[in-house]
Structure 1
Amino acid sequence: MADIGVLPDEILVYIFHFMLQSDIVSVMRNVCRRWKMLSFSPTLWRRLCMVDLGGENQNIMWSDENIQTVKSFVKNLYISLFSNQGGECLNKLIKHDFSELKELTLRDSHFGNSKFIEILEFVASRNTNLSCLSVKFGACEHLEKYFDIISNIQLRTLEINHGGSALGLRQKCKQCSEEKWEHCLVQLCCAKGKDLRNLSLGVNRVNDETVSSILKHCSNLTTLELDKTNTTYSCFLDIQQNINLRNISLFNININDDTLIGIAQFAPFLISFSVEGNLDSISTRGIQKISESCRYLEKLSFRNDHDHAPKLTDSNLFTIASNCKSLKYIQFQSLKHITDAGFQAVLKIVATYKLS
């Protein structure tokens, strides 16, 4: 059996990278002097996870000694705590300045932790280089306060998810109407829309009108992701063409051929287009329009179960092959109407494919 000790430092660090940080500090550092030294490698601490501050291993990881040593390496801070740990987390952040922090992920998904408001406000005020924020709301009675804080950050990437209804917080979430979400999101995009490059929304109270208003204000977006939003095709109509948008992903939303036609007209310079969910309402007409208008596509993906798949034909694949010369990845399902000629047309230009 090979001796792991003969592996070069960079390989050992790569292996450590797949371990929990709490195990790195409690186990790896106790093996030998060399492993202890490697456990402080900057690449292992670019992303620091505050998931649960309880337990012996977590206490070691969040000791002042360890944080003081690794804090200058941290670029991305991930926080997801139980409701009684917000105060302890905030105290740690106040005591230790993560001066290089650029990305913050905040998962308020347990019990509507009001301390997360203070955590977000403190990190945003101290870390002026913060450019990427991902927030998941458990309960959203503090919605306006969250958005007030977010509006004061010079963000390029923003991800907002709402998971309260699935977590037994329905009563608290009833007060968050579509109108309130629209007001908060549109107001934010009016103030900061020109700066945003990447936007991801996973909020079922976001409707067509809200998305349409957002797109009008965020003309420099390069990436748009919608998940479980209450939207259809009309959010892409009657707005100015976006020549900057390169990536669109739509997950679990109601779309049809008109959605694809609207996207083809709104974002003709797409390089990646992904759709996942019930695709019953998509026919060859919508796919044809996407492949005719979005000629720079490198990735085209339609993921679904076989009972709710668009009925693809040879004609669609011929159009894709003749128009999308840069295509590198394609994924379709339910290919009952495809012949060998259609397959061969796509295989001539695509390096990676999933056809089933």
Structure 2
Amino acid sequence: MDISTDVWGQLALEASQVYLTEGGQVRSPFASTTIEKLPDKVLLNIFSYLTHREICRMATVCRRWRMVAYDTKLWTHVSLRPEISGLHVSSLESLLALISIRFGPSLRYIELPIELITHTVLHELAAKCPNLTHMLLDFSTAMQLHDFSEMQAFPTKLRYLCICLSEVIFMEGFMRKIYNFINGLEILHLIGTYEKVEEEEEEIYEVINVHKLKSATPNLRVINLYGINFVDDSHIDAFSSNCIQLECLAVNFCNKVTGSTMKTLFQRSRRLTCLLMNGCSLRSDYVMQVEWEKSSVQELDLTATDLSTECLIDMLTRIPNLRFLSAGQINGFNDSVLKAWVEAGTARNLVALDVDSSDNLSDEALHRFLSRHGSQLHGLVLGGMPHITDQLWQSVLQLLNNANDGRYYEIVKANFERADRTTVVRTSTNCRVSNYYLLSNYNDLIFN
């Protein structure tokens, strides 16, 4: 039953009731209660839970609802990308009117598709939205850029900038125009068009000049270079040479990154606590050159890399304060790694562990590790491991005080069909989960 529908049904029934009293018939006190009687502030609060598409529909109900729906407080975070649950704007003139009338000083966050990224729109945002701090510019489907030769203004208070890159459009003409306006950026996302396919490699274009970009953004704390096929170790070196405030660097699915500049990265970026390198082509010899014991790193993602057992042991036994580790799909991650890690005592601060699809880890090794450190974990991922038995789960669940609520838990797909306990979540869909929500910079890393 739809609970919300049931509640409204009960209210409607109650409103229609007539009660008999000594003085005669009395109508229900709810008889005259309708949504029209609600104050504007209450309506505004209700509307705040709706999407902008739904708010626009509410605006067609009546004049009063239209006034509430167009309150600027409801338009602080706006996406204009209809393919990602955003609003569809039919023309540039409509958008310019929205910026001036509806968004104004209340606007904090906006997402623009390629057809709406023009110098006129950016000028208007700079002039009418002085509190705009977060912006996403989606060039991913671009075959041609608009003319930015006349662009003289750009929002100057941006803290967060996300640029979705095109594979074939060079961005330098646009970037040259905004370099002088983005030196206050703290969070930068460059999103590539990574697709994992086994086809003949096509020609790769460096569509954005990272070396020039780093000179314009000295205050970056968080850098996310996601799935960019031209990014390599020289680009990491470039950012580390200029961004002394760097706390988090993510280069997930940048498969040209080998780790050759990782040692220099940690020597320069003393504040770097989070390094995410899922799907990179890391070389063990480069990783072992890093002075891990002197680093501040606390969060590591090494998923789907080819690091050796020797390298993993060397690294994990030398990092003193690791709290987050994602190391699934690594053949070298085996029982000896867990054993050495426990013996070194460097897993004492661990709160999240992901060893998804680690075929070389045994029940016994996992049990020993979790018996020692399970009570401190807030997140544990052991998916894609059909050799893990129910017996292990039964024994370790009692140890996962912070990760288990006592009623539900997730086990590998192989066990779903034969599970008969009411405490097991059953599903026929094999999906992967992540501990990323436990990262210190999780909110800064979100894009799209």
Q: Shorter-chain TM-score: what band?
A: 0.7 to 0.9
> Structure 1 residues 213, 64: closer, same or farther in 2, change over 3 A?
same
Residue equivalent to 1:113: 169
1:97-136 correspondence runs (5 A)? 97=126, 98-100=129-131, 101=133, 102-109=159-166, 111-114=167-170, 116-136=171-191
Structure 1 residues 117-163: Cα deviation after superposition (integer angstroms, max 9, x where no partner): 344444452244321110124564344x3331233211111111344
User: 2:214 — aligned with what?
Assistant: 150
Q: CA deviation at 1:185?
A: 2.5
Partner residue of 1:29 out of 52, 59, 67: 59
Q: Say whether residues 1:316 and 2:371 are aligned partners.
A: no
Name the structure 2 match of 1:215.
266
C-alpha distance 66-238 of structure 1, shift in aligned 2 (>3 A):
same
In the alignment, the residues of structure 2 paired with residue 71 and residue 237 of structure 1 have an alpha-carbon distance, to the nearest angstrom, of: 52
Relative to structure 1, the CA distance from residue 200 to residue 51 in structure 2 (aligned partners, 3 Å threshold; closer, same or farther) is same
Structure 2 unaligned spans of 5+: 10-33, 134-158, 194-203, 405-409, 413-448
- Higher mean Cα deviation, 285-294 or 224-233? 285-294
CA contact (8 A) 1:335 1:355 kept: no
2:299 pairs with 1:247:
yes
SS of structure 2 residue aligned to 1:30:
coil
| Identity fraction in percent | 11
Give the TM-score normalised by the residue count of structure 2. Answer: 0.61
Question: 2:332 maps to which residue?
Answer: 281
1:146 and 1:209, CA in 2 relative to 1: closer, same or farther beyond 3 A?
closer
Question: 1: CA distance between counterparts of 2:359 and 2:351?
Answer: 21
Residues 225 and 163 of structure 1: is their aligned pair in 2 closer, same or farther, counting only changes over 3 Å?
Answer: same
- Do the aligned partners of 1:260 and 1:290 also contact (CA within 8 Å) in 2? no
- CA 1:127–1:338: 2 relative to 1, 3 Å: same
For the 8 Å contact 1:224–1:247, the answer to whether it is kept is yes
Distance in 2 (alpha carbons) for counterparts of 1:120 and 1:42: 31
State the secondary structure of the residue aligned to 1:133: strand
1:27 maps to amino acid: R
CA deviation after TM superposition for structure 1 residue 105, in Å: 0.9
Counterpart AA for 1:149:
L
For 2:174 and 2:234, locate their aligned partners in 1 and report how far apart those are by CA, in whole Å: 24
Q: Is 1:66 aligned to 2:98, yes or no?
A: yes
Contact 1:200 1:226 (C-alpha < 8 Å) held by counterparts: yes
Q: TM-score, normalised by structure 1?
A: 0.75
What's 2:353 paired with? 300
How many residue pairs get matched?
323
CA contact (8 A) 2:99 2:124 kept: no
More helix by share: 1
Please give the per-residue CA displacement for 1:70-118, whole angstroms capped at 9, x wherever unaligned: 253444444553xxx37x4343112321543121111013x4333x434
| C-alpha distance 223-30 of structure 1, shift in aligned 2 (>3 A) | farther
Q: Give the counterpart letter for 1:70 in structure 2.
A: F
**Residues 262, 108 of structure 1: alpha-carbon distance in 2 compared, 3 angstrom cutoff:** same
Post-superposition shift, 1:264?
1.3
Distance in 2, matches of 1:123 and 1:182, equals 25
Question: Aligned in 2, Cα 1:335/1:296: closer, same or farther, shift over 3 Å?
Answer: farther
Q: Please name the residue that 1:185 is paired with.
A: 236
SS of 2:59's partner is helix
RMSD of Structure 2 on Structure 1 (CA): 3.5
How far 1:239 sits from its partner (Å)?
2.3
Which amino acid in structure 2 is aligned with residue 352 of structure 1?
A
String of CA shifts for 1:294-314, please: whole Å, max 9, x gaps: 21111111223xxx6232322
Corresponding residue number in structure 2 for 1:170: none
Are the equivalent residues in 2 in contact too, given 1:28–1:36 (CA < 8 A)? Answer: no
Amino acid at match of 2:98: N
> Counterpart in 1 of 2:76?
45
Which has a greater percent of strand? 1
CA distance in 2, matches of 1:43, 1:249: 37
Q: Return closer, same or farther for 1:295/1:142 CA change in 2, 3 Å cut-off.
A: same
Whether the 8 Å contact between 2:237 and 2:264 is mirrored in structure 1 is yes
CA, structure 1 residues 335+148, in 2 after alignment: closer, same or farther (shift >3 Å)? same
**Could you tell me how far apart the structure 2 residues matched to 1:266 and 1:44 are?**
48
Q: Secondary structure at the match of 1:58?
A: coil
User: Which structure: larger Rg?
Assistant: 2
Higher relative contact order (CA 8 A, sep 6+): 1
Amino acid at match of 2:352: K
